[in-house]
Amino acid sequence: MDILELIQSNLLTPIVLFFLFGIIAARIKSDLKIPDAISEFLPIYLLAAIGLHGGIEMRNTGFEAMFVPMMVAIGMSLLFTLNHYQILRRLGKFNLFDSYALASTYGAVGAVTFSVGLSFLKNQGVTSEGYLAAILAVLEPVAFILAIFLTNMAVSKQIKNKKKSLGEIDSSESELEMGVTETKSNLKQVLHESITGKAIVILLGSIIIGYIIGEEGFSSISIVFDELFTGAIVIFLIEMGIIAGQRLDDIKKVGVFLISFSIIMPTFNGVIGVLVATVLGLSLGGAVMFGLLLASASFIAAPAVLRHAIPQAKPSLYITSALGITFPYNIIVLLPIMFMVSSVVHNEGSIDLFHYLSEGLI
Amino acid sequence: MKLYNVKLLTVTCEILAQKNVIDILTKHDITGYTAYEVEGNGARGLRGQGLKNEKNVKVEVIMQEEKLQDVIEEIARTLFTNFAIVLYVSDVGVLRTEKFV
């Protein structure tokens, strides 16, 4: 199957179709809406299911295997966040706050994207490593913490420069110290909020419970947490489609640069992620999920964290680009691309791709 | 029954600014307030649809006039530039003035 066929067949899965349906419903101004309680419940359910599966898998594979991929994922997430910032600030000419907010939104992970990825793999009949759920939990706050720290450093540097020009500088205090003290209270709050936040709590809790109960204990609840999984994503994606559809007009306002950024950056991060994961020895599906972790942007957790930590940044920029552009692109186009790349580097689809390329050349 | 004059401060803001408002109130030793989710339209567009984090909230606080100036000054200074927020003050009468210090 070549890549266009894969994208095409992915387009016709219920998940993607219902997402597009949600967008259409919003565009024709239908009053269709998933009730609040359900759209708040579904992310919790999805994370619980992801966590349980992860925990059960980890019982079989042990913890040792996850250490290196987790460290690499954290390192890459930090590196990518810095890279995003440079691109946004220098090439995109965004202000400092918007640049850091966007950089961390794209450095962070999207739990919904992750769920869609799992169900995509299920559809392809491929499994992935269970410990990726634990990486999802750990990766969630990393990019935000870095961005908040750097923003506070930059702000205190500005204040210092202003003071210097006014001639009232206290030379004993370095930028770093000022940045650190400014950041401390802020970071403590953010750390506390993200670690005790519902996403991480339910994810870690379910991983531990999954680890304890194992396959046997899971069989009694598998009807809810296994068989209903894809169906639940479908319902949630109607809601996501509606919200994305309501924001379609805003996409024009974010500008050509940010639109291209929201497509090129995830592609770059994702493909690099797939390649690195393959080098680390992850399976075909595992490499896709690893890439997806790095490609996805956060749109549920990001506003909650960033509105407090970097209130100067415009939420319309980071929510619209993450939910309106990157999320649809990731689940419709990038997932099949990464799957293809992963198949090629895992030497399973190489012949197909070779044919595809050679046909293209001739 | 005799009614005592106090001030009612009403703050309508995005839900993610609620914590900041409450923190300012607490800083001025005001612990009592009422908050509820609302929706509406304003300078920052239609609010209250879509993601939970983008909803609006209305916070009502009764306080003595002496504190009012400091509280609204701090809310205006720290929150007006970055958040979707509107505040207004009205005169109300209460029976038990000692509840609203």
pLDDT single digits (tens) A94-106: 999 999 999 999 9
- Residue A361 pLDDT grade (very low, low, confident, very high; cuts 50, 70, 90): very low
d(CA B90, CA B65): 11
| Average pLDDT in chain A | 87
Residues A305-318 have a mean pLDDT of 87
Q: In Å, how far is A32's CA from the nearest CA of chain B? A: 12
* pLDDT score of A198: 84
- Indicate the pLDDT class of residue A75, thresholds 50, 70 and 90: very high
Looking at residues A336-342, what average pLDDT do you find? 94
The minimum CA-CA distance between A219 and chain B, rounded to whole Å, is 34
Spatial distance between the Cα atoms of A19 and A87, rounded to a whole number of angstroms? 30
Q: Would you tell me which CATH number, out of the four given (3.40.50.12240, 3.40.50.700, 3.30.70.120, 3.30.70.2660), belongs to the domain B4-92?
A: 3.30.70.120
Which chain B residues touch A36 with a CB distance below 8 Å?
52
pLDDT of residue A349: 46
pLDDT band at B51 (very low <50, low <70, confident <90, very high): confident
- pLDDT over 60 (residue A353): no
Section B75-88 average pLDDT: 91
Give the model's pLDDT for residue A329: 95
Per-residue confidence (pLDDT) for residue A170, from 0 to 100:
54
Question: Which chain B residues touch A26 with a CB distance below 8 Å?
Answer: none
Q: Is the pLDDT of residue A162 over 90?
A: no
Minimal-distance CA residue of chain A relative to B79: A311
- pLDDT given at position A316: 85
**Chain B contact for A192 (CB, 8 A cutoff):** no
Radius of gyration of chain B (CA): 14
* Subunit contact B51:A315, Cβ cutoff 8 A: no
Do the Cβ atoms of B17 and A307 come within 8 Å? yes
Which CATH architecture describes the domain A3-150+193-361?
Answer: Up-down Bundle (1.20)
Alpha helices in A220-334 (DSSP H): 222, 229-246, 248-279, 284-295, 301-309, 315-319, 327-329
Residue A252's pLDDT is 85
Name the helix (H) or strand (E) containing A204. Answer: helix A198-219
Task: Report the percentage of chain B scoring pLDDT > 90.
Answer: 59
Mean pLDDT value across residues A278-306: 91
Does the beta carbon of A253 lie under 8 angstroms from any beta carbon of chain B?
Answer: no
Chain A positions in Cβ-Cβ contact with residue B19 (cut-off 8 Å): 308
Q: B50–A315: do the CB atoms touch at under 8 Å?
A: no
Q: Which residues contact B96 (CB under 8 A, 6 or more apart)?
A: none
Q: What is the pLDDT of residue A187?
A: 72
- Which range among A178-192, A223-237, A242-256, B34-48 shows the weakest confidence by mean pLDDT? A178-192
**What pLDDT, on a 0 to 100 scale, did the predictor assign at position A339?**
94
